[in-house]
Amino acid sequence: MTQYNQPIGGNDLARFSGPNTFMRLPQASSLEGLDVAVLGVPMDIGTSWRSGTRFGPKQIRSESAMIRPYNMANGSAPFDNLQIADIGDLAINTFSLADSLRIIKDSYDGILAQDVIPMAMGGDHSITLPILRAMAAKHGPVALVHVDAHADVNDEMFGEKETHGTVFRRAYEERLIVPDKTFQIGIRGSGYAASDFTEAQGWGFRQYPAWELWQQNLTEIGSLIRKTVEDHPVYITYDIDSLDPAYAPGTGTPEIAGLTTPQALQLIHALAGMNVVGGDLVEVSPPYDPSGNTALTAANLLFEMLCILPGVTSR
Amino acid sequence: MTQYNQPIGGNDLARFSGPNTFMRLPQASSLEGLDVAVLGVPMDIGTSWRSGTRFGPKQIRSESAMIRPYNMANGSAPFDNLQIADIGDLAINTFSLADSLRIIKDSYDGILAQDVIPMAMGGDHSITLPILRAMAAKHGPVALVHVDAHADVNDEMFGEKETHGTVFRRAYEERLIVPDKTFQIGIRGSGYAASDFTEAQGWGFRQYPAWELWQQNLTEIGSLIRKTVEDHPVYITYDIDSLDPAYAPGTGTPEIAGLTTPQALQLIHALAGMNVVGGDLVEVSPPYDPSGNTALTAANLLFEMLCILPGVTSR
Amino acid sequence: MTQYNQPIGGNDLARFSGPNTFMRLPQASSLEGLDVAVLGVPMDIGTSWRSGTRFGPKQIRSESAMIRPYNMANGSAPFDNLQIADIGDLAINTFSLADSLRIIKDSYDGILAQDVIPMAMGGDHSITLPILRAMAAKHGPVALVHVDAHADVNDEMFGEKETHGTVFRRAYEERLIVPDKTFQIGIRGSGYAASDFTEAQGWGFRQYPAWELWQQNLTEIGSLIRKTVEDHPVYITYDIDSLDPAYAPGTGTPEIAGLTTPQALQLIHALAGMNVVGGDLVEVSPPYDPSGNTALTAANLLFEMLCILPGVTSR
Amino acid sequence: MTQYNQPIGGNDLARFSGPNTFMRLPQASSLEGLDVAVLGVPMDIGTSWRSGTRFGPKQIRSESAMIRPYNMANGSAPFDNLQIADIGDLAINTFSLADSLRIIKDSYDGILAQDVIPMAMGGDHSITLPILRAMAAKHGPVALVHVDAHADVNDEMFGEKETHGTVFRRAYEERLIVPDKTFQIGIRGSGYAASDFTEAQGWGFRQYPAWELWQQNLTEIGSLIRKTVEDHPVYITYDIDSLDPAYAPGTGTPEIAGLTTPQALQLIHALAGMNVVGGDLVEVSPPYDPSGNTALTAANLLFEMLCILPGVTSR
Amino acid sequence: MTQYNQPIGGNDLARFSGPNTFMRLPQASSLEGLDVAVLGVPMDIGTSWRSGTRFGPKQIRSESAMIRPYNMANGSAPFDNLQIADIGDLAINTFSLADSLRIIKDSYDGILAQDVIPMAMGGDHSITLPILRAMAAKHGPVALVHVDAHADVNDEMFGEKETHGTVFRRAYEERLIVPDKTFQIGIRGSGYAASDFTEAQGWGFRQYPAWELWQQNLTEIGSLIRKTVEDHPVYITYDIDSLDPAYAPGTGTPEIAGLTTPQALQLIHALAGMNVVGGDLVEVSPPYDPSGNTALTAANLLFEMLCILPGVTSR
Amino acid sequence: MTQYNQPIGGNDLARFSGPNTFMRLPQASSLEGLDVAVLGVPMDIGTSWRSGTRFGPKQIRSESAMIRPYNMANGSAPFDNLQIADIGDLAINTFSLADSLRIIKDSYDGILAQDVIPMAMGGDHSITLPILRAMAAKHGPVALVHVDAHADVNDEMFGEKETHGTVFRRAYEERLIVPDKTFQIGIRGSGYAASDFTEAQGWGFRQYPAWELWQQNLTEIGSLIRKTVEDHPVYITYDIDSLDPAYAPGTGTPEIAGLTTPQALQLIHALAGMNVVGGDLVEVSPPYDPSGNTALTAANLLFEMLCILPGVTSR
């Protein structure tokens, strides 16, 4: 009978002790037998404003020591019947964005070949492009839940086609995602023209700008997404800057008037039951997060995503 | 005729001057003639994650210099007809949790013997157990308004029965509180099993998890509590981590997706008219509060609690 | 044909480069040909609690480099048909409040003589008194939208008649504003008596305390203001402490339980179409804003105010 | 027999408790019977770069709780036979530099009339001008030990004659000090011309630029000063920015390559035996001192100055 | 042939990745085959002023990722012929100082039974008492190199005999150390009487107060210690507060005018060749170390201590 | 007659106002007529540990507002007879290290073609390789004064030949520098083998490890360099991490036990009279420099380098 990995309990070892793995789960050196792999992609060379996300995985792991294995809000217990481990960080090349994106793609091909669900801690958002390439290679074009302050559909930045601001145009062009099963939630701020958002609507993307969500319960949107996507494989990419800077100051390109953490949880809770094939949480920049609370929030959102993976039950 | 203590006015002495007492009230060396004693319990050895609450009382007092004596929202003027002073800190033993809890109990017995209402600044939440012991010794089991991210009903932590996470199980077992007049508001986060919360419901505790309160006005819950408790002596224990970390980052065990400060004020305002016999505000950890705004929030919540004490009138 | 100034684009020069002007607009050494002048008033000697606002303009400019020229929420494009430049800081006398207020008045007389709309970055709120004097000299008594935690209607502070807490009593007495077209939004906290607020109501001021606005959409209030003021010249003075300290910690006299940034945007959006003759954003104190997010918020609110100036069109 | 005031001991009450007086000494409401008065002058409106020194006295007092009453290095025990108390802050007018300087002069006249030695915690350095006026009125022109990064001998700043940068030119002109018994130690940095320093040498000031002191033991200079001044009344004004920013980052106008704290102690120790009639420690700016160590250093330097007051004995 | 553990190289995996072990060494779950065990003792309940050292081991490990395996200054290469691993943290009881000290003693007995040299990361200094008990049980009374701002020879604190301030009196009384082979280096600051230091001199302790060391090269003292102790087993306990707060701000009881890091390295280098049987580095308090540089310093000092262990060779 | 650019004076405009250029010099849009160009290279993608140096130029400029035009220590007045301006930042490609290095080389070719001396603010140290390429193309191999904690002579990092750790091996291989006129000062820390340093000695590099410099006056080394290089064109590259982290915490790869700022000034002062053809100050990382004092130090070191350029006179 499978012995499922469990986080170290807070009464077994003081929370400030133990391995610096996600939730103090065991560190796995092999993918053998895993259902889910939590991993880090410590990179910040794809970012255009404040850097620092290279320390994101380390800090998210550190703050995740506070999280216990059972979700009081919805009764989910992901460690009851999924084998989950932290497999460490991808060995990216910190001096080359292009090379790092290649490494990510190759690493994900390996993970997906083992039918393991990867849950990544960024790193800047540029990591999601090679991830989606691997996802599409495995599953065909995927549905996408993209929670973010920015649509990230630029054509280029400084002449570069692959940065943290061009990910979803590339994903659309390369048919990595299903356009009318692509949802962009929380986008806002300033831009250059209406087409910054509307062009993607023309491709089929469904957009929920933050200003339509202020003071709202996001459960309904979550339900709508679930019904629209049905059983199609879905990838969730969560940019921490979707949250208001009051809730998540530690990020590279903050935009005011964003979502709240209650809204984030309402949304994720409502996605339970979908065919989630992977997810990421990106853009946590510890140098701008002295309290550690942005990383704590990121750790919790990752845990909430674990709680809605296929096979997780409630008790 | 009684001369009531007044805070030093901001035009009499610059706010950054004056004694470091709560709201720059007079410091009392005796309980004689007091209706209310504000005091500090500077302790952090009952905490399980981040320490630092030993500096809580000092920092709350420091930030309280901003507060003026009249409550614009509801017209309360607590210094009009209550004699309130800051009596300083309890001389706890910073090396022994057990000894400190004993000192707190003894000190509170002394305060209550003089019919003075104690309003404490913590310190970690373990201080509330000896306080409730003294309260029950004086008043019998009290009603309890417990605002917190955590239910604090563990049976033990590292084999210890008296820590900041076991307070309300002990209080229940020792019959210090009336279970069906006990309200836990704002609880949330992760745990080990549904019973982490539901067991206390079985004892009679009434729980209002944060996720039921998101985006809600808390006035109604406050009214319900007031009607349920009626004239029974009630103690209010306010853990600053009931608030979302966006509002109160400076605390030891933050949990995301908590209450807002408007909700905190709605709740306290609605409790006006109850037979409040004491209160505390705990878990402010200044090392994690570089802006001082968590302490400022704590100071304001204490002031709001003063504003609903029996005998306070509006003008 | 007029060549309108444009902010430097994020793809033309990395956002962390370029001049430290507002939104990286051109710096103008003359008012010639300008429709709007953005300027700084770097002063903190009118403040009563925490200082530091002398660095406000510098920090707001620094964070404004993130903002792009088009408003995604309402399609406004202020740089399409208004000539806007940053004219630098007023050369105030940092050792004398009285002399500085005189300098501000004289400088504003010069700006208004050229029919340029001034949009100021404070500095503490005492700057708004000489500004209103210049405004009234030009336009007669103006309508006033005053968003703030404090009513700022003290008669004096430490015997001084002109400080950051007495501005709007002076403005009323000197008939610089139209009392029944004066709106105070977000006021709250503690005071000395009900008359702290109600006296101004007696003058005709319309007050919207924060506690009436919690959890509300402010669009309706904005619409009401617009309808009440009609085409009368209106000045907007925005104190960053109107926002909750969770959203804007970096300020001198924070008050808990304030407005949210979504509410701030709802309000400003709803004011579009008014005859705005000037505006300011005050009380950003960088030493208390280590993340820079208060300044970022201030920069965005200034941009939002630019977006509703007369002549701005949507696309 | 006189009962001399003693600081509260660290084993009597935890260091993070107790009154926020200097070293937790008793707060005196009268000068009666005092030999020495420690006091605060919480002002920052005389400063030209970073503000924040208004919070200096509060923070210095807070950090002084660490200091015990006996000086291990030289055996001094100032509380053995001097009656020392903290008399709180002067009630300066935070909106007017001129008025505040007048208040300081008047207050010092009162203190000196009682033959009490005043030891002030600033505040910016502008406070020393009215202090020296009072000193000279009492004692005639005094000898001066001035430890600072700046000579503070400007003629004016923004047309103002009395600011933190003009103090010692005014003192010279007004014959408040004895020029050839005036020592400026630690001066350095950039200026406008050689005369910035040499003009004062022409008046008789003896200058010890920092670059002559690097890596040196300052005992010898201290001895030289003591021998030169002999029994003449001497005032010590200690600007915390005399120290290198590595040792004292929390100040308004830091200059690199300054003194070390060992050098500061060597200097003060060597001054023992002089006829010190007063002293101050200025320019501690808490918003720039997040660790509190600048204030801790200031508190220690004040204690060291207490240790060399006339009448202090060693044991 | 033994394969010696090596730290992960900075070119094999980016320094911000990898296990959070000391220098990214392998984590050992058994003591089998180890020569040296690096371990954490994450405790802060023995401290009297600022807490936070419970996070010391985690932060020291995190910053140690910068250190490479070869000591450029003296050619030491500790990983060439010693088997060194990180064995994690001791599972102390965070609610009970007494119980934690017992756990430490028992754990150390186990380590020493395997002839493994333990190098501990604190934690507050109270951990050194049970360590010395285990050391003496194994080796008999040990020689002691004690680098610290404080002598830590109080008899009690708040009536407690075992705290971070009483360690070396207890060690003396219990004959855990050889008095005339005990060296206290860097002690300074304020106290209660000369006997605070001199009593221990009477026991035989050799004291080097900081004021005798200022601006000095410490090589000579190191040599003297080495010659005095000869081959006697020696324990090194390094309190980070021996350093000046400019070099190590992140500690609980900082004292100004301390040692420099060059002096620290001169001292340790000079101790090479002694019969070191264990060591610790204590009192790093991360909440007071926002830059991480105190932890970085601590990590380097630990590495330097590894470099002088018996059996380490130079190349 | 040439009108030389002057920094804006602190009495003409408050130091917290004015353009964010170096020392508030005029910003030049052309190189025409310039003797010296101060410029920024805002890059951090060549760094291996902490990022953030992309904000270095902005922060150095901001803190440079404190510096006045005359050097009190040596009487240098660089603005008396050199035309110096700030020419802004190079428009590097923030997503590609290789492309950015190419842009730097091309930009420097253009600057040197005009016989302008470039003084750069980094950015990480990788910028110095293309700078040296341009220098050698203009002047032939240059003498090099390299002040740094690290020798930066790795062959590669993660397979990359051009990073902040390989600069001076490349420079040697490409004959950009004269090996026996190359001085490495302040190197220290840990490495992989003695050859990390000694190999470069074999090429002819002259190395002054920090441990030989501790507590020393660096004037003599400066003199020796000046005499050795004679009139050969010399480039000065100053890595802020040469300083001890106590003096310069805000950098990416800090190493303990480094130089002091007095030593830095002694060294630069002693280099006066050399044929300096350019210089840079690199590795200031503002996210790790909350006090701003690292940037202040960098600004001062740049000013000191301006003070020793050919043609500068003393008065």
* Predicted local confidence at residue A12, as pLDDT: 87
Annotated binding site of D: 125, 148, 150, 152, 239, 241
From the number of C-beta atoms within 10 Å of its C-beta (0-12, 13-18, 19+), residue D229 rates as buried
Token representation of residue B43 = 């302790």
HSE toward the beta carbon, residue C120, CA cutoff 13 A: 32
CA torsion through residues D266, D271, D272, D277, sign: negative
Check CB contact of E214 with chain D, cutoff 8 Å.
yes
Reduced to 3 states (helix: H, G, I; strand: E, B; else coil), residue C56 is: helix
pLDDT over 80 at E204, yes or no = yes
Report how far residue A124's alpha carbon sits from residue A132's, in angstroms, rounded to the nearest whole number.
15
Alpha helix segments (H runs only) across A64-143? 78-81, 97-113, 128-139
Phi-psi region of F32 (alpha: psi -120 to 50; beta: other; left: phi over 0): beta
Q: Is C232:C142 a contact under the CB 8 Å cutoff?
A: yes
The continuous run of DSSP H or E covering A200 comes out as helix A195-203
CB distance D291–E188 less than 8 Å? no
Q: Is F24:C96 a contact under the CB 8 Å cutoff?
A: no
Annotated binding site of C for Mn(2+): 125, 148, 150, 152, 239, 241
* Predicted local confidence at residue B211, as pLDDT: 98
Report how far residue A58's alpha carbon sits from residue A60's, in angstroms, rounded to the nearest whole number.
6
What distance in Å separates residue D180's CA from the closest CA in chain E? 30
Stretch D257-262: mean pLDDT: 98
What distance in Å separates residue C256's CA from the closest CA in chain A? 14
Q: Is E73:E123 a contact under the CB 8 Å cutoff?
A: no
Report how far residue E211's alpha carbon sits from residue E195's, in angstroms, rounded to the nearest whole number.
17
Q: Is B135:B235 a contact under the CB 8 Å cutoff?
A: yes
The β-bridge relationship of strands E177-185 and E142-147 is: parallel
Reduced to 3 states (helix: H, G, I; strand: E, B; else coil), residue E244 is: coil
CB within 8 Å of C227: residues ≥ 6 apart? none
pLDDT over 60 at C1, yes or no = no
| C-alpha radius of gyration, chain F, whole number | 18
Q: Which CATH number fits domain D37-306: 3.60.20.10, 3.40.800.10, 3.30.1330.10, 3.40.50.620?
A: 3.40.800.10
HSE toward the beta carbon, residue D115, CA cutoff 13 A: 5
pLDDT over 90 at C11, yes or no = no
* Predicted local confidence at residue A2, as pLDDT: 67
Stretch E266-274: mean pLDDT: 98
- Residue range E54-74, pLDDT digits in tens: 999 999 999 999 999 999 999
Check CB contact of A291 with chain E, cutoff 8 Å.
no
* Predicted local confidence at residue C12, as pLDDT: 87
Report how far residue C21's alpha carbon sits from residue F18's, in angstroms, rounded to the nearest whole number.
10
The β-bridge relationship of strands D177-185 and D276-282 is: unpaired
CA torsion through residues F153, F156, F158, F163, sign: positive
- Residue range D129-154, pLDDT digits in tens: 999 999 999 999 999 999 999 999 99
Which of the 8 DSSP states describes residue F206? E
CB distance B93–E158 less than 8 Å? yes
From the number of C-beta atoms within 10 Å of its C-beta (0-12, 13-18, 19+), residue F116 rates as buried
Name D234's bridge partners: D143, D276
Of A248, A261, A244, A258, residue with least CA distance to A295: A248
CB distance D96–C94 less than 8 Å? no
Stretch B295-306: mean pLDDT: 98
Report how far residue C247's alpha carbon sits from residue F250's, in angstroms, rounded to the nearest whole number.
27
Q: Which of B52, B93, B163 is closest, CB to CB, to E95?
A: B163
Report how far residue A227's alpha carbon sits from residue C99's, in angstroms, rounded to the nearest whole number.
66
B146 annotated ligand-binding residue: no
CB distance B55–D16 less than 8 Å? yes
Stretch D210-219: mean pLDDT: 98
pLDDT class for F12, splitting at 50, 70, 90?
Answer: confident
The continuous run of DSSP H or E covering F147 comes out as strand F142-147
CA torsion through residues E154, E155, E159, E163, sign: positive
pLDDT over 60 at F1, yes or no = no
pLDDT class for D3, splitting at 50, 70, 90?
Answer: confident
Q: Which of B190, B197, B249 is closest, CB to CB, to A291?
A: B249
Reduced to 3 states (helix: H, G, I; strand: E, B; else coil), residue B281 is: strand
Check CB contact of F57 with chain C, cutoff 8 Å.
yes
Neighbours of chain C (3+ CB pairs under 8 A): A, B, D, F
* Predicted local confidence at residue C228, as pLDDT: 98
Burial profile C232-269: b = 16 or more Cβ within 10 angstroms, e = fewer: bbbbbbbbbbbbbbbbbbbbbbbbbbbbbbbbbbbbbb
Identify the residue whose tokens are 């015990």.
D68
pLDDT class for B240, splitting at 50, 70, 90?
Answer: very high
Of E208, E238, E227, E236, residue with least CA distance to E273: E227
Which of the 8 DSSP states describes residue B25? P
Which of the 8 DSSP states describes residue C114? T
Token representation of residue E69 = 């395996």
Report how far residue E161's alpha carbon sits from residue E177's, in angstroms, rounded to the nearest whole number.
18
Check CB contact of F55 with chain E, cutoff 8 Å.
no
pLDDT class for F148, splitting at 50, 70, 90?
Answer: very high
Token representation of residue D216 = 């040196």
- Residue range B34-85, pLDDT digits in tens: 999 999 999 999 999 999 999 999 999 999 999 999 999 999 999 999 999 9
* Predicted local confidence at residue A315, as pLDDT: 92
Q: Is F45:F280 a contact under the CB 8 Å cutoff?
A: no
Identify the residue whose tokens are 């929380």.
A186
CATH topology of domain A32-306: Arginase; Chain A (3.40.800)
pLDDT class for C210, splitting at 50, 70, 90?
Answer: very high
Token representation of residue F193 = 């083998």
The β-bridge relationship of strands C117-122 and C276-282 is: parallel
Report how far residue B73's alpha carbon sits from residue A170's, in angstroms, rounded to the nearest whole number.
53
**Average pLDDT taken over every residue of chain C:** 96
Burial profile B95-107: b = 16 or more Cβ within 10 angstroms, e = fewer: bbbeebbebbbeb
Select from B51, B190, B216, B247 the residue whose CB has the most chain A CBs within 10 Å, as the one to mutate to test that interface.
B190
Which of the 8 DSSP states describes residue C101? H
Which phi and psi angles does F178 have, rounded to 5°?
-90, 110
CATH topology of domain F36-306: Arginase; Chain A (3.40.800)
Name B280's bridge partners: B120, B237
Identify the residue whose tokens are 């062959």.
F155
Report how far residue E107's alpha carbon sits from residue E123's, in angstroms, rounded to the nearest whole number.
15
* Predicted local confidence at residue B3, as pLDDT: 86
**Average pLDDT taken over every residue of chain E:** 96
* Predicted local confidence at residue E12, as pLDDT: 87
Check CB contact of C45 with chain D, cutoff 8 Å.
yes
Report how far residue B61's alpha carbon sits from residue B302's, in angstroms, rounded to the nearest whole number.
11
Give how far Cα E95 sits from Cα of A295, B107, B229, E127, F112, Å.
Answer: 27, 22, 35, 15, 67
Of F36, F129, F131, F138, residue with least CA distance to F87: F36
Check CB contact of E293 with chain D, cutoff 8 Å.
no
Q: Is D237:D144 a contact under the CB 8 Å cutoff?
A: yes
Stretch F6-11: mean pLDDT: 92
Angle, alpha carbons C15-C16-C21 (nearest 5°): 80
CB contacts, 8 Å: A303 with chain B: 190
* Predicted local confidence at residue D296, as pLDDT: 98
Q: Which amino acid is at A242?
A: S
Q: What homologous superfamily does CATH list for C24-306? A: Ureohydrolase domain (3.40.800.10)
What distance in Å separates residue E287's CA from the closest CA in chain A? 9
Size of interface B-C (CB pairs under 8 A): 93
* Predicted local confidence at residue D1, as pLDDT: 54
Check CB contact of D160 with chain C, cutoff 8 Å.
yes
- Residue range D85-95, pLDDT digits in tens: 999 999 999 99
Check CB contact of E15 with chain B, cutoff 8 Å.
no
- Percent of chain B beyond pLDDT 90? 96
DSSP C248-280: ---BSS--SS-B-HHHHHHHHHHTTTS-EEEEE
Select from B16, B43, B51, B55 the residue whose CB has the most chain D CBs within 10 Å, as the one to mutate to test that interface.
B16
Stretch F226-245: mean pLDDT: 98
Q: What is the pTM of this model?
A: 0.97
* Predicted local confidence at residue C90, as pLDDT: 97
Token representation of residue C186 = 């977000």
Q: Is C165:C48 a contact under the CB 8 Å cutoff?
A: yes
Select from B216, B256, B289, B294 the residue whose CB has the most chain A CBs within 10 Å, as the one to mutate to test that interface.
B256
CB contacts, 8 Å: F85 with chain C: none
Give contacts of E 167-186 with A, CB under 8 A.
Answer: none
CATH topology of domain E22-306: Arginase; Chain A (3.40.800)
CB within 8 Å of D126: residues ≥ 6 apart? D43, D46, D47, D97, D101, D162, D163, D164, D167
What distance in Å separates residue B229's CA from the closest CA in chain E? 35
The parts of chain A modelled with pLDDT lower than 70 are: 1-2
Check CB contact of D262 with chain E, cutoff 8 Å.
yes
pLDDT class for D8, splitting at 50, 70, 90?
Answer: very high
Of A76, A215, A187, A77, residue with least CA distance to A125: A187
Token representation of residue C75 = 């399609």
Which phi and psi angles does E200 have, rounded to 5°?
-65, -30
